[in-house]
Amino acid sequence: MSRPATPPLLKDLNERTVLETIRTAAPISRAEISRRAGISKPTVSVALRSLLDVGLVRSTEPDGDGPRYGAIFFEPVAEAAGVLGLDLGARFLRGGVCDLSGEVHARHDVELAGADPAGVFAAAAELKDRLIAESGLPAERVRSAVVGVPGVVSAGTGRISLAENAHGLDGLEVGAELERELEMGVTVENDVNLAALGERWRGVARDRDDFAFLSIGTGLGAGLVLRGELHRGHHGAAGEVDYAFGVGLERDIDPCAAALAAFVREQAANGGHATSLSEPFPVPDVFAAARAGDELARAAVSEEARRIALHIAPIAAVADIGLVVIGGGIGANGDLLLEPVRAELASRLPYPPRVEVSALGDAAVLSGALSVGLADALESVFVNRRW
């Protein structure tokens, strides 16, 4: 019996629908695919035959010991493609490889202290090779990478700007450089934007359509998700909140590490608070001392919470988001910061957003890179159908 004639666009749509249904509910039978997808059984059979032929799905055993009634069950082939994600931070290069199910097969961090651009690119290439080798996935199936970088990324050229302290990368077309070094396609994205997407994929913002991610550490930045999509802005500079108060509306509001240390230093010199802290007032020591009850450290944490809230307030007031996730080296101290930040926002806004600490910690950017790469890889394997 010949296959029914199907226009190419409809055939493509049917196959995508069947594949997504299998990815969502595997192991799943032909009849159940038809029921869930709203497609006739003969049409499902045609789509399945095509997906099986190119290795995107395979037959498998059903869950449990229930009756099968002769049905064949299907699951997606997770290893049909791999995804490489990299987080190029100020101190560390973090990398991971996952398959099409999102399972991470290899994960490593490399210290980048003092590295220049050439050293960063070489480290990325070495880490790529190591991760692919350890992942167990065929190298030819890991065809592209998503890389998180500090600073604003030009959509047209991949040029980095506003990243003066990031290994000399400011002004470079990092995407093109990495493509040459890694010998694969590379997508470059702002690191805090990726952290937001990571939280939406596997963190406290899972499946939230409107929220912001605020990263506070050595630097400051925000990622904004609206209607389920990352909002980059006209120049790709959405979320550069450290410029929001450049007109001097309120003084002393910088929540970054250097500014927090400067506040502690100033207060220590004034002698108004008892303290065990000493130069150079490292931020981790300040939070540790606050937990131990140190008077100056607790005053510093209170001031830090105020400054963080002052950066959340304009985002929440304009976008009316329901959730803000805070992360970064400072933002991770939720046990000390969450309640005072929430209280400050409640005193300033009629509709304050819920504030939570990142569930992913220093893996947020990498998780976001893998989530973006996963979506791209699924599209690529479906369109190309060769590996």
3-state SS, one letter per residue, for 29-67 = EHHHHHHHHCCCHHHHHHHHHHHHHCCCEEEECCCCCCC
Whether 1 shows a pLDDT value over 50: the answer reads no
Distance CA 354, CA 265 (A): 32
Beta carbons of 253 and 260 less than 8 angstroms apart: no
Distance CA 67, CA 152 (A): 56
Q: Would you state the pLDDT for residue 378? A: 84
Distance CA 116, CA 110 (A): 14
245-257 pLDDT, tens digit each? 654 455 589 999 9
Mean local confidence (pLDDT), 318-337: 96
97-120 pLDDT, tens digit each? 999 999 999 999 999 988 899 999
Q: How many CB atoms lie within 10 A of CB 332?
A: 18
Whether 168 shows a pLDDT value over 80: the answer reads yes
Q: Would you state the pLDDT for residue 238? A: 85
Taking each helix axis from N to C terminus, what angle separates 334-348 and 283-291, rounded to the nearest 10 degrees?
90
**Tokens (6 digits) for 111:** 């210290």
Distance CA 228, CA 251 (A): 34
Stretch (H or E) spanning 95: strand 92-99
Q: How many CB atoms lie within 10 A of CB 178?
A: 26
4-63 pLDDT, tens digit each? 545 678 888 999 999 999 999 999 999 999 999 999 999 999 999 999 988 899 999 887
255-306 pLDDT, tens digit each? 999 999 999 999 999 999 999 999 999 999 999 999 999 999 999 999 999 9
Q: Would you state the pLDDT for residue 236? A: 80
148-165 pLDDT, tens digit each? 999 889 877 778 888 766
Q: Would you state the pLDDT for residue 282? A: 96
What's the pLDDT band for 387 if we cut at 50, 70, 90?
very low
- Looking at the whole model, is its pTM more than 0.75? yes
Q: Would you state the pLDDT for residue 205? A: 97
**60: which strand partners?**
73
Mean local confidence (pLDDT), 316-326: 95
Beta carbons of 62 and 27 less than 8 angstroms apart: yes
Question: In whole angstroms, how far apart are CA 321 and each of 202, 225, 351?
Answer: 19, 9, 9
Task: Round to the nearest angstrom and report the end-to-end CA distance of the chain.
Answer: 30
**149: which strand partners?**
190
Whether 365 shows a pLDDT value over 90: the answer reads yes
